[in-house]
Amino acid sequence: MVLHEGRWKIKHNGQHSKPYHSQTAALKDAIDQAHEVHKKGGLSQVLVQREDLQFREERTFGKDPYPPAG
């Protein structure tokens, strides 16, 4: 979830979603979408960007890829 052009949007695979009226609404939708991907066996992560453009939290649904295989 990112602040893009002054509006909260969900960014997925390099594409921005429609703008949301609030950060809370964007976060709810991002989490709902991540749950749907996880239900289908996929891995999803939700990163939340603060207004200062730093990321404040991460949520992982499915097997966490950390530490990476190496």
Domain range annotation of the chain = 2-61
Contact 27, 20 (CB under 8 A): no
Look at residues 7, 19, 36, 21 and name the one whose alpha carbon lies nearest to residue 46.
36
pTM reported for the whole predicted model:
0.72
Judge whether residue 55 has pLDDT over 70: yes
Q: pLDDT of 3-44, one tens digit each? A: 888 889 998 888 999 999 998 899 899 989 888 888 888 888
